[in-house]
């Protein structure tokens, strides 16, 4: 997505030899100065108020920035070396520290001072955190790693470091054992509510909720902590897959315009497949817990009809204008190259394992891609990836790729999972008990075919194609007030639906903007789109797939 960081530059001025130099803005992110005989100096302020992993944020509690938000690029000098001075703030913030993977040359004990980068691309690939954070160091694969925690929190830091060490060492072994960096930083901003990550060449910027961090003394892995570990695993895997093994159109990056590729399914999808797989292979969770994570991925794909209208190849290509600019119709119009890409990676892995009788796996393909493309920083062409996967595996996978990547039909996962001793069936959302031995046989539930938010009122956020709500004329943005004359909340609406019958007509009253409206809704049976995954007996193939494998 083009995020237009230039919009946050305030009062841009130019000087040379202590004299003002005229500066003209020629497009939305480009300024031009007349030639000067000496050094040209620019001065500008950056409005930094984006509390995310993407841009820059500054207040009295901390400062964070990505280089893309603060460093202008000198046209034609992108390959020149850069130096940066990060200056310490005055009292009462004079106890702040700096955390960054950028190379420091002359820095004080708090980290303030001079840093260098070989070129502009490296300069913008080292985010910087400043403030009163806590720094925790651990070693993985013989390489120092740092966990930087910013914000208010109470957690078991030693446990986080121990778990991250396990994950990092797993990924390091996966790609041959040698780290592509000298040190690595996890820059974590802890907030009340938040989730996200952004990969960099030797660090990652993360934002997470306090509830996601483990409680001191609690040995269990909560669902929220598992999400956090999965996020860390995802961004760490990116050190190889997308930071160094990358599409050819990203070499070099064209920062002033969109760089379209149809390969994001591989770079985000394969990463999304291995992020959770690493948790079970490294021993942090068991097989059943992993199948619960896989069921969540299946649900995210199958609960939207957009998967039948957009291929992952097109989703990758249109990420700039569709995936990162989603609206209320997104579930009906697009598919995520993250989640469906992960399912394609799963199918690809199991297909290779099955057809080679276990002699090869997607693991071997990824290592070969690293050795041929990643180590040598050679971009992967749009068609080259499919050719190389076929070459490394020794299989003709053209039919698989045509269907999975360029088609919109569902992937045939049932027989593949059956081969590794996992049964996949589909149920209704209310009866979904992932990985439970208890079976529930309920009558088919009813569904309005919408998503809603709120607690005291029902705010419609999405309306699904073909559902009862869409047929009745309900739209995203409507606020529903009553169901057959009874006031509703999201919880009460679910209770009322349980007392109705399929085909029954009900009156639903609500506001669209400030206009009161009544809809006649003919209730429909819910779809069986919730996956149920169950382990079926002993399976050497499943053990080979999910168990730890040192390379």
Cβ–Cβ under 8 Å, residues 133 and 66: no
Kindly report, residue by residue over 409-423, the tens digit of the pLDDT. 999 999 999 999 999
546 CB-side CA count, 13 A:
24
The pLDDT value given to residue 245:
97
For range 290-298, the mean pLDDT = 97
Structure confidence at residue 551 (pLDDT): 42
Query: Reduced to 3 states, what is the DSSP secondary structure of residue 542?
Result: helix
- Residue entry with tokens 């690293």: 370
Note the pLDDT tens digit of each residue in 330-383.
999 999 999 999 999 999 999 999 999 999 999 999 999 999 999 999 999 999
What is the predicted pLDDT for the residue at 428?
85
Rounded to an integer, what is the distance from CA 306 to the centroid of its chain?
A: 19
Task: Please give the average per-residue pLDDT across 139-166, as a whole number.
Answer: 97
User: What are residue 398's phi and psi, to 5 degrees?
Assistant: -60, -40
Mean pLDDT is lowest, of 254-258, 317-321, 327-331, 433-437, for 433-437
Question: Is residue 224 very low, low, confident or very high in pLDDT (cuts 50, 70, 90)?
Answer: very high
Confidence class for position 430, pLDDT limits 50, 70, 90: low
User: What does the alpha-carbon distance between residue 432 and residue 81 come to, in Å, rounded to a whole number?
Assistant: 56
DSSP string, 213-249: SPPTT--S--HHHHHHHHHHHHHHHTTTBTTTB-BGG
The reported pLDDT for the residue numbered 442 is 46
| Tokens representing residue 213 in the block | 């961090």
What does the DSSP 8-state code read for residue 439?
Answer: -
pLDDT score at 457: 81
- C-beta contacts of 490-499 below 8 A and 24+ residues apart: 490/452, 490/453, 490/454, 490/455, 490/458, 493/448, 493/452, 493/458, 497/445, 497/446, 497/447, 497/448, 497/523, 498/445, 498/446
**What does the pLDDT read at residue 509?**
96
pLDDT greater than 70 at residue 126: yes
| Averaged pLDDT for residues 78-90 | 97
In the chain, the percentage of residues whose pLDDT exceeds 90 is 90
pLDDT value at residue 69: 96
Average pLDDT, the chain: 94
User: What is the pLDDT confidence band of residue 494, given thresholds at 50, 70 and 90?
Assistant: confident
pLDDT at 550: 52
pLDDT of res. 354? 97
Band (pLDDT 50/70/90 cuts) for residue 455 is confident
Which homologous superfamily does the CATH classification assign to the domain defined by 446-525?
PDZ domain (2.30.42.10)
What pLDDT was estimated at residue 352? Answer: 97
Q: Helix or strand or coil: residue 494?
A: helix
Lowest mean pLDDT segment, chosen from 427-436, 466-475, 476-485: 427-436
How high is the pLDDT of residue 508?
Answer: 97
- Please give the CATH superfamily to which domain 133-239 belongs: Neutral Protease Domain 2 (1.10.390.10)
Does position 185 have pLDDT exceeding 50, yes or no? yes
Task: Find the mean pLDDT for residues 255-268.
Answer: 95
- According to DSSP, the β-strands at 128-131 and 97-99 are antiparallel
CA dist., res. 407 & res. 404, Å (int): 6
Position 251 pLDDT exceeds 80: yes
Label residue 549 by pLDDT band (50, 70, 90): low
pLDDT for 438: 43
Ordered by start, the domain boundaries in the chain are 133-239, 273-419, 446-525
DSSP one-letter string for 280-308: HHTTSS-HHHHHHHHHHHHHHHHT-GGGG
Model confidence band, residue 440 (pLDDT cutoffs 50, 70, 90):
very low
pLDDT band at residue 437, thresholds of 50, 70 and 90? very low
More confident of the two residues 358 and 444 = 358
Do domains 133-239 and 273-419 share one topology? The answer is yes
Write out the H or E segment, with its range, that includes residue 393.
Answer: helix 384-393
β-pairing verdict for 19-21 and 9-16: antiparallel
For domain 273-419, the question of CATH label 1.10.1060.10 is answered with: no
């Amino acid at each position: 997505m083009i995020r237009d960081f230039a919009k946050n530059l305030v009062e841009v001025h130019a000087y040379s030899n202590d004299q003002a130099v005229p500066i003209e803005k020629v497009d939305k992110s480009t300024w031009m100065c007349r030639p000067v005989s000496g050094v040209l100096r620019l001065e500008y302020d950056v409005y930094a108020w984006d509390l995310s992993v993407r841009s820059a944020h500054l207040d009295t509690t901390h400062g964070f920035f990505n280089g893309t938000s603060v460093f202008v690029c000198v046209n034609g000098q992108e390959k020149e070396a850069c130096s940066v001075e990060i200056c310490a703030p005055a009292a009462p913030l004079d106890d702040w520290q700096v955390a960054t993977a950028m190379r420091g040359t002359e820095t004080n004990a708090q980290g303030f001072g001079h840093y260098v980068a070989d070129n502009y691309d490296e300069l913008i690939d080292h985010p910087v955190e400043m403030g009163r954070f806590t720094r925790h160091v651990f070693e993985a694969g013989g390489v120092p790693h740092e966990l930087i925690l910013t914000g208010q929190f109470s957690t078991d830091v030693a446990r986080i470091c121990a778990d991250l060490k396990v994950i990092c060492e797993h990924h390091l072994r996966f790609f041959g054992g040698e780290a592509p960096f000298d040190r690595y930083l996890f820059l974590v901003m802890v907030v009340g509510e938040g989730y996200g990550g952004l990969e960099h060449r030797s660090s990652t910027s993360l934002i997470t909720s306090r509830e996601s961090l483990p409680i001191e003394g609690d040995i269990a892995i909560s669902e929220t902590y598992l999400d956090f570990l999965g996020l860390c695993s995802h961004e760490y895997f990116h050190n190889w897959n997308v930071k160094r093994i990358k599409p050819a159109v990203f070499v070099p990056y064209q920062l002033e315009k969109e760089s379209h590729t149809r390969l994001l399914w591989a770079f985000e999808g394969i990463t999304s497949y291995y992020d959770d797989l690493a948790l079970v292979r490294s021993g942090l969770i068991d097989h059943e817990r992993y199948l619960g994570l896989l069921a969540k991925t299946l649900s995210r794909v199958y609960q939207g009809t957009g998967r039948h209208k957009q291929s992952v190849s097109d989703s990758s290509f249109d990420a700039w204008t569709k995936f990162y600019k989603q609206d209320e119709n997104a579930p009906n119009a697009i598919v995520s190259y993250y989640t469906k890409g992960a399912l394609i990676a799963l199918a690809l892995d199991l297909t290779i394992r099955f057809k080679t009788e276990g002699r090869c796996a997607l693991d071997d393909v990824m290592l070969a891609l690293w050795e041929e493309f990643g180590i040598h920083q050679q971009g992967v062409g749009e068609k080259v990836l499919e050719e190389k996967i076929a070459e490394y595996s020794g299989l003709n996978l053209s039919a698989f790729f045509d269907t999975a990547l360029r088609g919109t039909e569902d992937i045939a996962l049932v027989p593949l999972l059956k081969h590794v001793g996992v049964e996949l069936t589909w149920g209704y959302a209310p009866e979904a008990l992932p990985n439970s031995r208890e079976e529930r046989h309920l009558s088919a539930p009813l569904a309005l075919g919408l998503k809603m938010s709120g607690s005291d009122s029902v705010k419609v956020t999405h309306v699904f194609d073909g559902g009862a709500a869409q047929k009745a004329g309900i739209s995203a943005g409507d606020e529903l007030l009553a169901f057959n004359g009874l006031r509703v909340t999201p919880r009460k609406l679910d209770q009322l639906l349980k007392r109705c019958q399929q085909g029954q007509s009900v009156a639903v009253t609500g506001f669209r903007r400030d206009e009161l409206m009544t809809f006649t809704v003919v209730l429909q049976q819910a779809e069986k789109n919730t996956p149920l995954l169950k382990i079926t007996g002993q399976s050497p193939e499943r053990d080979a797939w999910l168990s730890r494998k040192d390379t």
